[in-house]
Amino acid sequence: MVISVKEVLAEIVNPLPFSFTVDFSDLEFFGRVLFPHPGTFTGKVENRAGVLRLLGEISLTMDTTCDSCGEKVKRAVTLPVTHVLTLEESAAEKDDELIFCEDGKLDLADVAADTLVLQTEMRILCKPDCKGVCFGCGAKLNEEPCRCEKEIDPRFEALRSLL
């Protein structure tokens, strides 16, 4: 997935579209694989007034389990990719936003992997308000009420009825 951006810089080709299959089935996030199926990375490199830009989108399917309740999580993930490219190493060292293209070459697999690592949330939830599993009774709180209530001291129960 290495492309040459020299011809874009020289405006021989402008823009330069690309579309690749990406496979992150061996990329681990905190010890587990989140994207076991192949996806796509499509976009273009364009030269606008001498500034090289990488614009694209990574589409993948997240297929894992919820960190809170353990249920299956399978959803489409689309990540935008926007970078300014440079062929000057010194410029890239000064600015983290710039991607240095050594000898005019850009490895899109590296860009895609970096994007994924940066943009993937640390905690994967089946839904934003996942209630998880009760540590006391093991109830799946999205689906059923906690059963720990039963163990409440009857005296407190009497007190509650007064409220």
Q: What residues make contact with Zn ion under the rule CB under 5 A?
A: 66, 68-69, 126, 130, 134, 136-137, 146, 148
For the bound state, the minimum distance from the C-beta of residue 28 to Zn ion, rounded and expressed in Å, comes to 21
For the bound state, the minimum distance from the C-beta of residue 76 to Zn ion, rounded and expressed in Å, comes to 18
**Which residue's CB is nearer to Zn ion, number 13 or number 77?**
77
**Which residue's CB is nearer to Zn ion, number 103 or number 129?**
129
Closest by Cα among 32, 4, 34 to 18: 4
For the bound state, the minimum distance from the C-beta of residue 74 to Zn ion, rounded and expressed in Å, comes to 12
**Which residue's CB is nearer to Zn ion, number 60 or number 69?**
69
For the bound state, the minimum distance from the C-beta of residue 33 to Zn ion, rounded and expressed in Å, comes to 18
**Which residue's CB is nearer to Zn ion, number 42 or number 142?**
142
The secondary structure of the chain, three-state, reads: CEEECHHHHCCCCCCEEEEEEECCCCCEECCEECCCCCEEEEEEEEEECCEEEEEEEEEEEEEEECCCCCCEEEEEEEEEEEEEEECCHHHHHHCCCEEECHHHEEEHHHHHHHHHHHHCCCCCCCCCCCCCECCCCCCECCCCCCCHHHHCCHHHHHHHHHC
